Structure 1
Amino acid sequence: MEEILLNVLVFLLLATILVAVFWFYGLPLYRIWNQHSRIRKDIDKIDQTANQRIIKAALRELNCKGTWVTDGNDRVVKFDFQRGHFRLRVRRGTPYVRLLYLFFCDTSAENIDLVRQLCNQTNINADGLTACYTFNEKENVVDVHFYAGLLLDEQRAASMLKHVMIDAFSWQNAFVRKLEEGVEHAKRAGMFDFETEHQQFERELFLIREQEMAHQQTPGSWRAGEDSPLTLHLWMEVAMQLHETVPVALTVDGQTVEADDRLNLAEMLIADRKFVKTEATLSYTFYQASDLTRERSLVLHLLALPGCQQTLYFRITATLVPLSIQPRYPKGNIQAQPLTRSALAAYDLSSPDERLQEFRYHWKEAQAKLMGGSEEKLSPDERILSECLNPQVGHAVYRGRQLFLSERYVEALPWLENAFRLTQNAYEKMPPAAREHFYEVCYCIGFAYCQLEQYDKAYFYLNLIFGLNRVTYTEAFVNCLVNSNDFRAVTVIDTLLAEVTRGMEEGVEKAVYAVGFRNFLLRRKATLLIRRHLYTAAEVLLKALLNEPDSSDYALNELALLQKIRAVDLEDKATGRQNTKQTEEQEK
């Protein structure tokens, strides 16, 4: 009898567990499945007639008067919402309708590249809205439109339409503002071919911002090729900033090889224009000319990365082993500090002959267009070549600019400096257009030296063009002063801030251009204040920048950094007071 009761209790317990499991898991799943089935059935019931009925009710709820027309098999309703002209296209055979916001913006056809970029940015970031453009050949303008695909139901149609249309207004405001800013920047830069020049102008601004925000960065842009080996000596000189080293020993993957700093690092992974190894480790022992009594050790790791048809990529990571702490090398000595550098390197598969043929082609094209009176058809590179004094200068400028725009600063400098030397003596005889290209060469050289952290050389070239009042030139000059911790940086920044503020008040400076430049100067000043331990002044400045869209992220990061610095300072002070108290007690 007891066994029967026990079995009954076990059965009831199992039944209770099954009911509980179904109640907590099975029932919700069934409800979801059932709801999904009902939704599918409801969607299948929505046809062109049902959509028209839903839209009419939604428009009445939104107090919008619609005008219906027939366009082939489609029905289209035109209506206004908050002064915006919208359309809804209802197609046969689909439950979806398309909301159209047409011709909300137009601009000159020469700005088509900027419109294309803004459409791409909008389509990446907007929820549901898609931007597109059409070309009006008669008026020579580009028209911009928004559209969105919607699945409407009777309960939510009005709220859904209202949400999407208000969102369209927000994106319209952002689109128009960015378009006006882009056109203004293009005019300030004196661009000839808007599509290509705008891209290069934005590229230079990006490089300046990257230089501004980079606190710790391996100097140089590391690329190799048949005519430009990436040697161990070059890495030591530029990346590690270790000059006049004397090789002692070198091992590659554990095997001893000749200790020669002319070793091409790219050849450790690449042979016959392809990767033959995925990684390699080098151990390099050397002396520094300043101290021939102590050996130094450097460990390098090379790692192959995915590339493309024209270039093979690999990463170089190097660590300089610090010296042991001793009286000659105390804890704070730079020799006793670890030093690590990492950089992405590349190996060009194109040959020197191919690049020379490319230059000759552009040179001949430029000369032919000039002789034929087609100067307006010159590309940016051809325009620069047309102003060069001879093919030698043209080749140097052309190749140097290519390398510079690819961030290959180490390789670009010999070409650009050669162009500078060949043209500086003829400066007084240069026509205005040629002088503009000479200034561009100075800018590229100065910027490259800044990236290599050789600020004294960068200052020489950037100072030549500082007085031209160009935004890119001025910002590069300011970056040079700030990054080198030059004592004149604050004075220069304050002077520029006073000038741009006065220009804005007098209406001389364009608001869009001036605000961006002013915020750049304020960001750089905040960096200097933090470096000089003026934390209160820096905090006031950073809090003001929180209200600026282009500086809010920077301000948040720097305020967080400032908070950490203050916490460390307080901890150090507390530790110092405790140590002082212990010392006094010991003395007593």
Structure 2
Amino acid sequence: MKKLFGSIFGNSSKPETISKDKEEEKDDFIDRLENETYLPNEFRFQHQIEKCQLRAAPNEKVTLGVLLNRTFDIREEEVSDLYVITDNIQEKTGTLITEKDKIWNFDLCNAVLVKHDNGDIGYKYSENVTLSISYRKGYASKEDNDKSIGRVNDNIIVHLRGCGGSKDTWFIRASIMLPTFSHEGDKTYTRTGNQPQTLSVLFAYDNTTPEQRIAEYKAVYDRTIEKLNNGKELNFNEYCIASQMIPAIGQDFYWGNEVLKENRYWDAIVYLENVYHALKESWLRGDVTDEDKRMFYQTCYVIGYCYAEMALWEKALFYLEIVRPLNNITYNIEYINCLANSRDFRTIYTIHKELNQLAQLKESEITDDIIYYHNFLRRRRAYTFVDMGRLDDAEEAFKEMLNEDANKEYAKSELEYIQELKKRKSTES
């Protein structure tokens, strides 16, 4: 993996010639950018099941009917009333279509892409379009005499989103959901476990004839496989393909921690959960290294921290409990903070257990970090007494800290708060 990343980062930063002028550098950058978006998407497209590999062109459409029929075997007579919801940032707007042939032949690319006056193709509506389709399972015709309750009208949801591309090919992802359909007595379905059926499909719009581009992609793909098998370094285009075959956990770990610096907690989680799942699978297979373990534990800590910052305490505790046995002071502090902030009943017991363990340490084992942790635990213990309504215990604990430089300012403010609580309590009684 290190060799792979070293190869791409090394190659991507080298100019092909020292004498390149500004315009050539700009063109080279655009070419690289297009390859970086086109090649991975083409990889995903080519590795779908064949019946879902749908390509549109100026004279060929990818229609809603073809998508529904190839993915969930839905027939034209089973659908009606298409409602198209477009999201253009400022507001959502909707359009109702009732004609069955227009619904079945609805152009999916036209819903997401727009051709500008200069001929360039781009995404519209902030790249998001949602389709709500009325659906009657098994419906044949008006003369159909089947009165089954399970054949009432339901809805199918199709979410369309632009996935990037270039001036010649644009990719769109369709996420399709069939909800659990109505049935007498809310029947339990063993096959699906009453879960909605979902599928995600990537399709393409080629502004020009795609044969040459696809041939170029296949050539790059074959060359990449050969180099990977022989342990050779990859160039930029080959890396774009390889990045789809090999989990880029190093990159995800790096970017997760980078966006965290900007307090982008959810963005960090999206990156780092990729790392978590990839390393978890490696651990289960028994091929995890010591370096992988350190990355795994740090990833769990950071994900837990992010969830805690968003006050999603249960999710935070799931990840922080993974690192709890390591007895790392930083990890322990975040875990105890999460317990306390979520008013978890385990807080006081956990703090007392930690204080008892510190009391067993020899004098030679007490470091500055241990002293810092000990002060933290005492402050949290007193704070937890306040949460539990044990105001006298909290007051006594904070008074013990008034002569300690590390704790006195915090203790003063908390003692004032305790006096306010006691006044309110006496007034109410």
Verify same fold: TM over 0.5. no
What is the TM-score when the length of structure 2 is the normalising length?
A: 0.42
What is the TM-score when the length of structure 1 is the normalising length?
A: 0.31
Work out which structure has the larger RCO, using CA pairs closer than 8 Å and 6 or more positions apart in sequence: 2
Query: Which has more radius of gyration?
Result: 1
